[in-house]
Amino acid sequence: MLAKPRLHRLFGPSGRCLNVALDHGIFGEGSFLPGLAQFQTALHTVAQAGPNALQLSPGQAPLLYRQPIHPKPALVLRLDSTNAYGSTPGALFAELVEEGLEAALRLDAAAVVLNLLWVEGEAHLLRDCLRNIARVKPLTERYGLPLMLEPLVLRPGGYEVEGSPERIVPLVRQAVELGADLIKADFTQPIEAFHQVVEAAAGRPVLARGGGRVPEELLLERTRAVLAQGARGLVYGRNILQHPNPKGLVQTLMQMLHPA
């Protein structure tokens, strides 16, 4: 049973969700932009394909409601930004969008999302994330707005993730303890260990994060593997946006998640 009424808008009749992430521009990383340079075209193409949700930043989220599509995908609103995904040297940070929760309420978002980032030797980055979550969580409880946390173990110096269950599982459990209503988690290495992430989530829906672009065959193989281990959905961005046929891939994934 999903605790917050808005959560029901994210999940189809099968109890699963495809959330397409289009919020990459908020991180200021140029390598994230292919597929999103013509943002309104990308948004329209993906929205027409009929995913359960779209993950957007506050600056672009209003464009969803201008789409001549009914019903529209639910909105998941990004409430933070970070420079942890880039390769430019400098002090890492995670910064909260001011009054982002109020924007989520005005935009009728179904959920909001925050990072929980761990990079070896960068304790201040984790501290930023903890502070952001501590500020937002009481407000999401007050207004019945589901909170998705994104516990990511990143390797120093860029976007590459650490897929070890020994690193991912404790961070997922920390996200649960901090009050996550949903968990957005990386694939484990090996993929057969993903059930440990689901177990650590302690009943919270786990949505697998696609990460960097991989061949379609590998993406679909990973998708089948995590669904078989209890994942409740997917959050894929560049693997859809940079695909030659984004609409077709969304439809393929929706068929996997919500078989007739």
Q: In this predicted model, what pLDDT tens digit does every residue of 198-245 receive, in sequence order?
A: 999 999 999 999 988 999 999 999 999 999 999 999 999 999 999 999
- The range of the structural domain enclosing residue 187 comes to 5-257
Q: Read off the pLDDT band of 3 (50, 70, 90).
A: low
Q: What is the pLDDT of residue 162?
A: 78
- Whole-structure pTM value: 0.94
Q: What is the pLDDT of residue 1?
A: 41
Q: In this predicted model, what pLDDT tens digit does every residue of 104-124 receive, in sequence order?
A: 999 999 999 999 999 998 999
Q: What is the pLDDT of residue 12?
A: 84
Domain count, the chain: 1
- Using CA atoms, how far apart are residues 95 and 83, in angstroms rounded to an integer? 9
CA angle centred on 152, ends 92 and 54, rounded to 5°: 105
**Mean pLDDT confidence for 137-156:** 94
Q: Read off the pLDDT band of 16 (50, 70, 90).
A: very high
Chain centre to alpha carbon of residue 143: 21
Q: Nearest-CA neighbor of 201 among 237, 232, 224, 228?
A: 232
Q: In this predicted model, what pLDDT tens digit does every residue of 157-193 receive, in sequence order?
A: 665 677 899 999 999 999 999 999 999 999 999 999 9
pLDDT of 36 higher than 80: no
* CATH number reported for the structural domain that contains residue 9 in this entry: 3.20.20.70
- Token pair 């946390």 in the structure block, residue: 149
